[in-house]
A = this chain, B = another copy of it.
Amino acid sequence: MNGKVVILGAGAVGTTVATYLKRHTCHEVTVFSSDTHTAYSQCGIPFVLEGVIHDFPDLIVRPLDAFVDMGIDLHLETTVKRIDANSQKVISDAGIFEYDHLVIATGSLPFVPPIDGKELDGVFTLHTLSDGMKINSSINDASRVLIIGAGGIGTELAGSLAVRGITVTMVEALPQVLPLTIDPDMALLVQQHLNSLGVLVVTGAHVNSINGKQHVRSVSVQGDTVPTGIVPSDVVIVATGLKPLSGIARDAGYKIGITGGIVTDEHLRVSADGGILDNVYAGGECAEVKEFVTCSPFISRLGSAARRMARVIGENIAGQDAVYPPTLSPNVVVVGEVTAGSVGITSHTATLNDISVVCGISEGRTRAGYFPGGSQINAKLIFSNRRLVGAQVVAREGVKERIDALSLAIRMGATVDDLLEWETAYAPSVSMIIDPVTFAADDAKMKMDGLA
């Protein structure tokens, strides 16, 4: 095989597809990105702002030379204006490029609501390495930072800046932090930890305006339950979600789904009026895939999902028949010292989808009671027709791995009885004799059987 592959985007999907193709095929590979940097860890940015990671270049996991050495034709800071689907060409700042296979991995952009004053100096979003650098050079220990939005990025950032000693206020329109990924009872644990770090969390509140002449000076916040107030702020970070960068695909005639992402089939191929295209793929945050539990259209924000999609796209371009199955996209957010993880659907999503659920909860410790250094751990399991459909865990350790286990449990169709037969390991320094997850399953089963 010796065709031309053009990849739009040099994030996790773009670079992984390019690398895969260079390793396993003889294709010419050209990659475009509007970003200044590539192959860096977006998820690591809050840790640099916190001071745990020394500096931003530490987040670059692969130097540019590595791509050049592999023979990848990489164009950074380059805008792709248009895809000419008929002639199979991409029109960019750097010229016109033909393709045999096209991969759209343009990612996402922060969504900024139309708030008065959003263009003032000192107002940022946090998406790229450059964003992180700008924020870093704008804050100092005396800064008062206001974060709009308490999703994953907002809460991680609030935790990081608070640990650094900065005065942080976080404003969230919905009545809880992390509203898309965990239930209110579990979110309260995260909110309490943020409070303990000194973060003022204002939920159920809107930002009316960002105030200042050239530079932000304050933010007007209107609460559902709190009085309207003016919060003095030196820096404002807008973290109100992301929108898929799918415009260029839409302009080319490719189908866009209700999520705003590019519709893909199980091979991650895009479709147009004439049906599914055999040589155009989309992956990552610009692509709409299927969620595992509900089978609804879904956009996965995860680097791990991106890597899997890239592998599927790479294998398909290499002539294999690879499939990207519906995704659970298990999620962990590290807020200060606490990790909050979730997989599958929340109670709220269940209600939206008319799925009747029974929840089991438990509170335990990550190590034997007498062992130093352990942490409180809270687990919540969500069952529908006795089958696990969602799980949430909050603790200072052991969260990611338990969420992983429960991700497998959901995918394999585990019932509450399977979870009760599940044997877990024990040593005083790393666990309780019976894992807290087992107790949560026990709680759910008692409710199902009408015993609780």
> A residues bordering B, Cβ < 8 Å?
12, 41, 43-44, 47, 52-53, 58-59, 61, 302-305, 307-308, 325, 327-334, 339, 341, 343, 368-372, 397-405, 407-409, 411-412, 414, 418, 421-431, 433-435
Given A53-B371, A339-B427, 4 more A-B residue pairs with CB atoms under 8 Å apart are: A43-B427, A61-B370, A333-B427, A334-B430
Closest to A304 in B: B426
Q: Which residues of B contact A424 (CB under 8 A)?
A: 304, 330, 400, 404, 407
Q: Which residues of B contact A423 (CB under 8 A)?
A: 304-305, 308, 327-330, 343, 407, 411
| Contact (Cβ within 8 A) B428 A418 | no
How far apart are the CA atoms of A328 and B325 in the complex, in Å?
A: 30
Q: Which residues of B contact A403 (CB under 8 A)?
A: 425
| Contact (Cβ within 8 A) B408 A425 | no
Copies in the complex: 2
Partner of A41, one of B41, B61, B407, B428: B428
Partner of A431, one of B12, B47, B400, B408: B400
CB of A424 to closest CB in B, whole Å = 4
Partner of A405, one of B305, B328, B370, B408: B408
Q: Which residues of B contact A302 (CB under 8 A)?
A: 425-426
Q: Which residues of B contact A339 (CB under 8 A)?
A: 427, 429-430
Partner of A422, one of B400, B401, B408, B425: B408
How far apart are the CA atoms of A394 and B433 in the complex, in Å?
A: 20
How far apart are the CA atoms of A414 and B41 in the complex, in Å?
A: 32
Q: Which residues of B contact A59 (CB under 8 A)?
A: 370
Identify 10 residue pairs between A and B in the complex whose beta-carbon atoms are under 8 Å apart, listed by A's number: A43-B426, A304-B423, A325-B421, A329-B423, A332-B431, A400-B427, A403-B425, A404-B422, A407-B423, A411-B422
| Contact (Cβ within 8 A) A343 B401 | no
Q: Which residues of B contact A47 (CB under 8 A)?
A: 371, 428-429
Q: Which residues of B contact A405 (CB under 8 A)?
A: 401, 404-405, 408
How far apart are the CA atoms of A151 and B144 in the complex, in Å?
A: 56
A411 and B401 in contact, given A52-B372, A304-B433, A430-B339 (Cβ under 8 angstroms): no
| Contact (Cβ within 8 A) B427 A334 | yes
How far apart are the CA atoms of A333 and B371 in the complex, in Å?
A: 15
| Contact (Cβ within 8 A) A332 B426 | yes
The 7 closest A-B pairs by CB, nearest first: A401-B401, A405-B405, A330-B425, A404-B424, A400-B430, A332-B425, A304-B426
Q: Which residues of B contact A428 (CB under 8 A)?
A: 41, 43-44, 47
Q: Which residues of B contact A411 (CB under 8 A)?
A: 418, 421-423
| Contact (Cβ within 8 A) B425 A414 | no
| Contact (Cβ within 8 A) B370 A425 | no
Q: Which residues of B contact A305 (CB under 8 A)?
A: 423
How far apart are the CA atoms of A103 and B47 in the complex, in Å?
A: 55
Q: Which residues of B contact A431 (CB under 8 A)?
A: 332, 400
How far apart are the CA atoms of A180 and B219 in the complex, in Å?
A: 64
| Contact (Cβ within 8 A) A429 B325 | no
